[in-house]
Structure formats: structure tokens, C-alpha cells
Chains A and B, each alone.
Chain A
């Protein structure tokens, strides 16, 4: 009966209901977006890291992967020791850092070099031409931004060096590579110029060959289902204790570290999410209270003809919740559109990896939004429900008749 009365009541004031639904929908959309934002970067990073298939990353002490140009010495020795562990499937030694590249007699441009031997790590995906071969010493794969900056295509030759003398406009001790393909680099920032060569070539370019310097060792573990993350944590702890000169992160540990650096986004989403909840509560509460004020006579009559007090309290609560439930399509529709729009704006920032998203729709974000909106509906119904609970029948009827 109550549901029936609520629906008829909402339908009775269609324009008001539609406005309320729109208002709550917009506030709910903001709440959804803030839920998507609060863990969005972390989820997005998690997805990218998972795609690579490596559970542990070994970096120079005190750094995150490719956070700086720092390397650690004796990289292949450490990689071999890690590879000998029974839990490990394979390891991928990687060198990264800043270099300069130029066409023959062209102006050099700064670029980031990834030194690794395919197919061990899929940090890039070839979109045109061919990939590097294993221990390839003559070819390179470049990013689209790099190809555009130098005006090169597959088949062209470029010169790469770690240093560039700007006074004479020349690369110091350059090495020549033929471009075999254009690739999409997953961790590249927008418009970042990148190229990939074999591990040994990158060490030679960056002067790391003698000390066998590496920027990163990616470690893949045996698939152990749900225990993989704990195995990763155990493996990284073992690496840290065995090789004090390096840092080791499981995916979960890396995400936790990143999360610590994303406090700004968490606070931002907390504040805006809270504001949207307050708006939602005030909006629903005001609408229901206003509607109640117009219907006090009706409610008094319902009490007079025998409807129980708790029935009317439920009626008001359900009205609040119904406004929230009816607004859910607007909440999710508008929320996703706004999130996509904001994501497009934010990921245009130059220091953001291309594949990273700020707003990620996860089951957790959906569930939290639903729960929080229902809580808003319930909170909004408190005051009107209190008004109904203390409604005095006789004076209200008297007022209605005189009025």
C-alpha cells in the first residue's frame, strides 16, 4: 500500500518530481565521479601493471620504476640470482633514461630510451612495421611522437647518443639504428618522444655497460591464483633483504606507494563527494518536507481513518528513497558522461601517461555510490518523518477546515 501511495504521490506532482530527480541525479553524478576518481588512478595503474604480467619490480634504492634516470650496478648478476628462485618464471632486465636522437645531419631532440629485449616485456605495442629482435643491436622502435618530431618512418636511420653538445649542435659518440617500427609505449606521457633498443644497446648508449647498470628488473612469478599477491610481497621482501642496493615492489606495494602520492586526489574526491552528498540530502529533504507541508491535512485524515503512525513514517521515508532511486539512471548516465569529459581534460596534461585514466568505473565505485545515495535518501527522510511522527490529528484537521 505504501509503495502504491508513494508512486501515485510522486506522479501527482510530476514537474516537481522530475526537477527533484534531475537535481539528485546531478548531485549523484558528482558523487559517482568522485568515487571513480578516488581510486581511479590506482585502478588504471593496476590494470596497466597487470597487463604486463610481472608481479615484482626491482628498482634503484628509494625510487619507483623510471622515476629518475638512476640505475643500480651488477644488474644482470642480480637478475640471474632472482631468476634462480623457484617461484620465478622469468626476469626482464630493463634500462631506461634520457638520450638524444637525430636524423643524419638533423637537429637532435631529447627522447626517452627503453632498453630491453623483446618479447620479454611488452612495454610497447608495435603499430607500424616490425618489432625488435632478441639482442637486436641494429634496430630501434620509436613512438609516434618521436617519428613525427624527427620526420622519420620505418626504414629510416637515426643517430642516438646520451649526450648532446648544444654549442655545435652535435651528438657526442652517437650510435646508428634503423627504425624497424612505430609503437605505442604504455607508460609514455602525452607527446613523449620514446625509442626502444636492446638492453645491451641501451647500456652502451647510457654508459652503463661497464657497471652493468639497470633501471629495472621485472620479475614474473608462477601463477598461484589468489596467493600470487602474497607471493609477490614475499618475493619483494626477499629481494630487498638479499640485495640492499635495490628496492623491490610487488604490484600491490607499488600501488600502495603510488596511492600515498595521490592523497591530493583522495582529499579532492572526499571534499567534493561530501558536498554532493550534502546537496543531495538538502534537496531531497527540502522537496519531501515541502510536499509534506502541503499534505498535512491528507496525512491527518489518513491517521484519522486508521492508518498507523509507522505507516505514514514509512511513507515519507520511502518517498525520500524513491526520489534517490528514480534519479539513479540520471546519476549513472550523467556521471559517466561527465567522467569521460573530465578524464579527457585531465589526461591532456603533459605529465600524465597516455594510457592512464583518472576516472575508472569499478564495481566498488558503483556500490559505494549506491549505498551513499541511499544513505542520503534515508537521512533526507529523517526530518519529514519526524514531522509526520509528531503530527497531531485534531489540530491539523481543525486548521485545514478553518484554512
Chain B
């Protein structure tokens, strides 16, 4: 794969499932590509398929049909082990709910992906400090999630997503549970990560946050309606 090749290539992605006996067409022939370092935002009404698309791009779900390549690797028919390895080494996830493990400190939460990636302890500790410094929480290393504000917890979650130095950060409503001021801080942080060269795909309802992206997509009824 060349440095300039798209890191995400999706063609005619469809995702159908059955809910309470009804066939749901969550995605209908969605095509999308993301370049290295690109900042893409996806907006749209609830239930339009934004999160479903993000889950497919994040290799946590499989499309019903279509083509999907991540970092040059074909994900259709890929084993769970390959998908897991992709998530571990190349992707970072940030969710609306922070999903930090409450019994671990901020540092330990951030260190989890690095532990799984078997980074040596010295390098792991250095990375944890580095990413917590990036999100402005180096002083909160030993605090547990319950001792942190919502904004701080989300920043810890972002640090966790960054610790293995992913090329692509996937963020699903990262400011959805935060007040406006804290949401702005998170938006600025994402912007600075983009500036630092991390590609970002952001799902949001927040037009101001979406406006920070270099490419903005609007979804409706399972397909991309508009792009700007």
C-alpha cells in the first residue's frame, strides 16, 4: 500500500438486519473513501445509519454486501483475528459514552491497548504519559474514572484510542454527553489530532463540530445524501 493510497475504501456497502421481526436496511449501497490524515464528519438524523457505517469502518461489524478495504486489506471474509489485529494496531475508537473501566485508573485504562499490543513496559509507560499529556491529563494519571469529570473521561478515552498510534480515529458522537464548553474542548482536541496527521471519521449531530472537518457527509435513510 502506497502512502497516498486511501486508508478506507468502501463500495456499495449494505447492512441489513432483522429487528423485532422487521427487516431493517441500515445501509444502502454506501461508497466512501478516506485519505490518510483526512478529517471526515458524518451528520444525519437518528437512525440514518451513521453509527452502523462507523462500526463497519471500524471492523466491529460486517457488511451484508459490498466491498470494504482498510489499510489495503480486504475486510470481506476476514477472520475475527485479522479484524481484531486491525483494530488494535491501526484504529482508535472514541464513543459517546466513554466506556472506561471504572476499576482502573486513567493510566491503566489508557495502557490497555498497549498491553494487548505487547509493548515493552518502558515504552508503554512513555506512551501512556505522552498521550495523556496530549489530551492535557498527565496530572490525572492515577485517578479513577469516578474521580474525573465527563470531559476528562472523554479525553482519557481519546488517549486510550491514541496509545497505539492509530492512523485512523473513529469517533461516534464524542461530545454527545458533554456540555457545550467541554464539547468545544473535545472538538479542539480532535482538530489538533487531525493537524498532527491522524485521519478522523467523526459521527456527530453537532453542526459546529462537523464544520471542523475537511469533508462533510450527510446521511439519510441509509445512504450518503450529500457531501461538501
Contact = CB atoms under 8 A, between A and B. Distances in A.
Interface of A: 1, 5, 8-9, 11-12, 297-298, 301-309, 311, 392-394, 397-398, 400-401
Interface in B87-128: 87-89, 91-93, 95-97, 99, 101-104, 112-113, 115-117
Contact of A305 (B52, B93, B96): B93
Interface of A is mostly: helix
A167 to B, nearest CB: 85
B96 A1 contact: no
Nearest to A297: B99
A298 B99 contact: yes
5 contacts: A304-B60, A308-B116, A309-B80, A309-B84, A393-B60
Nearest to B173: A401
Contact of B81 (A11, A308, A394): A308
Interface residues of B, number: 33
A393 B95 contact: no
Contacts of A305: 87-88, 92-93, 112-113, 116, 160-161
B58 interface: yes
Contact of B102 (A12, A306, A397): A12
Interface string B143-175: 000000000000000001100100000001000
Contact of A1 (B51, B52, B115): B115
Given A304-B93, A305-B116, 6 more contacts: A12-B102, A301-B93, A303-B84, A306-B85, A398-B51, A401-B51
Contacts of A397: 55, 60, 95
9 pairs of A and B residues whose beta carbons are closest in the complex: A306-B88, A394-B61, A12-B103, A393-B60, A301-B99, A8-B103, A394-B55, A306-B87, A1-B115
A154 to B, nearest CB: 71
A394 to B, nearest CB: 4
B88 A9 contact: no
Interface of B: 51-52, 55, 58, 60-61, 80-81, 84-85, 87-89, 91-93, 95-97, 99, 101-104, 112-113, 115-117, 160-161, 164, 172
A393 B58 CA distance: 11
Contacts of A9: 103
B97 A8 contact: no
B192 to A, nearest CB: 21
Contacts of B112: 1, 302, 305, 307
B164 A306 contact: yes
Contacts of B117: 306
Contacts of B161: 305
Nearest to B176: A401
A311 B92 CA distance: 19
A401 B101 contact: no
A385 to B, nearest CB: 16
A307 B160 CA distance: 13
- A1, A302, A306, A394: which has the most chain B beta carbons within 10 Å? A306
Given A12-B102, A297-B99, A398-B51, A307 B93 contact: no
A305 B93 CA distance: 7
A47 to B, nearest CB: 49
A306 B84 contact: yes
Contacts of A301: 93, 95, 99
Nearest to B93: A304
Contacts of A311: 116
A317 B33 CA distance: 41
A307 B101 contact: no
Nearest to A1: B115
Contacts of B91: 306
A90 B215 CA distance: 103
A262 B92 CA distance: 66
Contacts of B172: 401
Given A393-B60, A401-B97, A307 B55 contact: no
Given A305-B113, A305-B161, A306-B116, A400 B61 contact: no
Contacts of B55: 393-394, 397
